[in-house]
């Protein structure tokens, strides 16, 4: 038989038993809906966490810190280990494949004063040419720092909290908006303002202020690393004694997130511990996969019940169509055509159920994303991201899988139909 003949006979047979076909299709739809919506919850959780990590810091960023925790086998617990971070290490890391940017980070404490307001801040030295590689926010006002103006600082939106020390309460009058960083006159000193020595102030130069963000840049102050090294050597008592400079950390930018672990491993081979958001991402990915497996398993139970329903429908159809099968054999219809006809009908039930279930999944997913956050926010558990995500690959997989379930469920009935003898079928029909 031709394909068009299979389609014509198959749809006619399904239409003649409308109620049974509809009920079986609904069963498949519920099963498909269950597994899709369950998996979408796990996918949404994973995607939401990835976005959250990206907001906290770039997923392509690796950080080598001066102090790191390592496991001591003799003590059987973690201990702090100091790592010497120098210019040689910076150059060694730059030579690693897929590294697109490296900058040392060195911090110095400073004291700011503007009129009656005061503030403490921690200035991080960074290579200005590397800002583009570390996802710095846009500048809200002013401009980025540069080596051409080394003493000018770049402030995060919420980096400095100014207060009035003579107020009734130390922090009762002031705030982050008490001083206009770009327009007010501000003085800076690196002297110990809590000691007996009278601090020497100099006029603060502000290069710019960053836009508000959820990253660490929102609360940090930056200056060119060359200038910070000079300040560090002039005012750091420890350096004056030992004459030894070790950076606080080294930032490494990788050209693609898929190479982060490889670069991180090569840094460890140099003898240094390195940290990246990929570490957390791997942990949450494993947890997400486990959750998706559990949720998918729950949904698969419904789909299994649907498969049993398809098999039952097709078996009942055999008993009702015994004469039809006998006639087909008498007329010379080959066994494979009879098998194909029953498999076609079973696959159509699976496909229709998959389409209906997928449509229902998209509808419920939309409602969940629209209304569930309102409930979650009142309970303090809403993170700001969709709680149900159905990617295109999941939608296509659901359709293919539902059709596959239909075919698998129709194998036994189709085989049973081919075993019916023509003469017995005609006699039974009478």
Reported as a single tens digit per residue, the pLDDT across 223-247 is 999 999 999 998 887 888 888 889 9
State the pLDDT at residue 430.
46
Q: Quick one: tokens of 38?
A: 């369950």
Percent of the chain that is helix, strand, coil (3-state, to 5): 55, 20, 25
Same domain, 47 and 107: no
Whether 102 has a pLDDT exceeding 80, the answer reads yes
Same domain, 124 and 11: no
Same domain, 224 and 303: no
Residue 238 phi/psi, 5-degree rounding, is -65, -40
Angle subtended at Cα 361 by Cα 360 and Cα 362, rounded to the nearest 5 degrees? 95
Contacts of residue 238, defined as CB under 8 A and 6 or more positions apart, other chains included, come to none
Q: Which comes out higher in pLDDT, residue 317 or 107? A: 107
Q: Which comes out higher in pLDDT, residue 346 or 318? A: 346
Whether 424 has a pLDDT exceeding 80, the answer reads no
State the pLDDT at residue 98.
93
Domain count, the chain: 2
Contacts of residue 2, defined as CB under 8 A and 6 or more positions apart, other chains included, come to none
Cβ atoms of residues 306 and 30 within 8 Å? yes
**Does 270 reside within a domain?**
no
Same domain, 43 and 187: no
Same domain, 69 and 155: yes
What average pLDDT does the structure give for the chain?
79
**Does 292 reside within a domain?**
yes
Give residue 95's pLDDT band: very low, low, confident or very high (50, 70, 90).
Answer: very high
Q: Quick one: tokens of 92?
A: 């060694």
Q: Quick one: tokens of 85?
A: 């971070």
CA distance 423 to 430: 11
State the pLDDT at residue 92.
94
State which of 14-23, 60-69, 406-415 shows the largest mean pLDDT. Answer: 60-69
Summarize the confidence of residues 395-403 as an average pLDDT: 87
Domain interval for residue 18: 3-55+282-429
3-state secondary structure 370-387: HHHHHHHHHHCCCCCCCC
Given 185, 220, 255, the domain boundary residue is 255
Reported as a single tens digit per residue, the pLDDT across 158-182 is 998 888 887 655 445 567 778 999 9
State the pLDDT at residue 429.
46
Cβ atoms of residues 28 and 382 within 8 Å? no
Same domain, 245 and 180: yes
Given 255, 272, 303, the domain boundary residue is 255
Summarize the confidence of residues 112-138 as an average pLDDT: 92
State the pLDDT at residue 192.
67
**Among 158-167, 171-180, 270-279, 326-335, which stretch is predicted with the lowest mean pLDDT?**
326-335
Kindly list the distances between the CA atom of residue 357 and the CA atoms of 30, 164, 360, in Å, as whole numbers in the listed order. 6, 63, 5
Same domain, 158 and 289: no
Cβ atoms of residues 28 and 406 within 8 Å? yes
Give residue 10's pLDDT band: very low, low, confident or very high (50, 70, 90).
Answer: low
What is the number of other CB atoms lying within 10 angstroms of the CB of residue 27? 23
Q: Which comes out higher in pLDDT, residue 17 or 159? A: 159
**If you compute the radius of gyration of the chain from its CA atoms, what whole number of angstroms results?**
34
Same domain, 116 and 159: yes
Q: Quick one: tokens of 138?
A: 């846009």
State which of 312-321, 385-394, 411-420 shows the largest mean pLDDT. Answer: 385-394
Reported as a single tens digit per residue, the pLDDT across 373-389 is 665 555 444 456 777 88
Same domain, 134 and 195: yes
Give residue 26's pLDDT band: very low, low, confident or very high (50, 70, 90).
Answer: confident
State which of 94-103, 242-251, 409-418 shows the largest mean pLDDT. Answer: 94-103
Question: In terms of pTM, does the model score above 0.75?
Answer: no
State which of 152-156, 169-173, 285-289 shows the largest mean pLDDT. Answer: 152-156
Reported as a single tens digit per residue, the pLDDT across 288-317 is 677 777 777 776 777 677 777 777 666 666
DSSP annotation of 426 reads H
**Does 303 reside within a domain?**
yes
């Amino acid at each position: 038989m031709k394909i068009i003949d299979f389609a014509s006979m198959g749809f006619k047979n399904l239409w003649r038993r409308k109620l049974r076909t509809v009920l079986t299709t609904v069963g498949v739809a519920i099963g498909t809906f269950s597994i899709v919506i369950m998996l979408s919850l796990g996918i949404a959780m994973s995607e939401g966490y990835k976005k959250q990590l990206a907001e906290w810091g770039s997923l392509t960023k690796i950080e080598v810190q001066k102090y790191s925790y390592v496991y001591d086998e003799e003590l059987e617990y973690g201990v702090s280990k100091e790592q010497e971070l120098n210019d040689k290490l910076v150059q060694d890391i730059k030579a690693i494949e897929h590294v697109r940017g490296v900058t040392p980070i060195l911090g110095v404490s400073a004291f700011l004063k503007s009129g009656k307001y005061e503030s403490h801040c921690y200035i991080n030295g960074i290579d200005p040419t590397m800002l583009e590689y570390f996802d710095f926010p846009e500048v809200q006002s002013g401009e980025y720092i540069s080596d051409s103006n080394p003493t000018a600082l770049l402030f995060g939106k919420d980096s400095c909290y100014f207060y009035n020390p003579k107020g009734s309460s130390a922090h009762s009058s002031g705030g982050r908006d008490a001083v206009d960083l770009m327009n007010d006159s501000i003085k800076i000193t690196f002297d110990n303002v809590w000691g007996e020595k009278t601090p020497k102030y100099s006029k603060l130069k502000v290069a710019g202020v960053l836009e508000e963000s959820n990253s660490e840049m929102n609360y940090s102050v930056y200056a060119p690393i060359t200038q910070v090294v000079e300040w560090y050597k002039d005012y750091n008592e420890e350096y004056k004694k030992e004459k030894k400079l070790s950076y606080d950390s080294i930032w490494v930018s990788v050209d693609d997130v898929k190479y982060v672990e490889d670069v991180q491993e090569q840094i460890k081979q140099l003898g240094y511990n390195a940290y990246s958001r990929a570490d957390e991402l791997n942990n949450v990915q494993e947890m997400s996969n486990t959750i998706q497996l559990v949720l998918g398993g729950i949904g698969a139970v419904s789909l299994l019940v649907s498969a049993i329903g398809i098999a039952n429908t097709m078996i009942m159809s055999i008993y009702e169509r015994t004469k039809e099968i006998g006639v087909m054999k008498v007329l010379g219809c080959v066994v494979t055509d009879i098998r194909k006809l029953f498999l076609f009908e079973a696959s159509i039930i699976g496909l229709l159920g998959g389409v209906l279930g997928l449509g229902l999944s998209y509808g419920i997913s939309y409602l969940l994303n629209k209304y569930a956050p309102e409930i979650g926010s009142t309970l303090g558990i809403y993170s700001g991201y969709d709680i149900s995500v159905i990617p295109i690959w999941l939608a296509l997989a659901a359709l293919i899988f539902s059709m596959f379930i239909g075919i698998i469920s129709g194998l036994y009935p189709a085989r049973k139909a081919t075993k019916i003898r023509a003469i017995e079928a005609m006699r039974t029909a009478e």
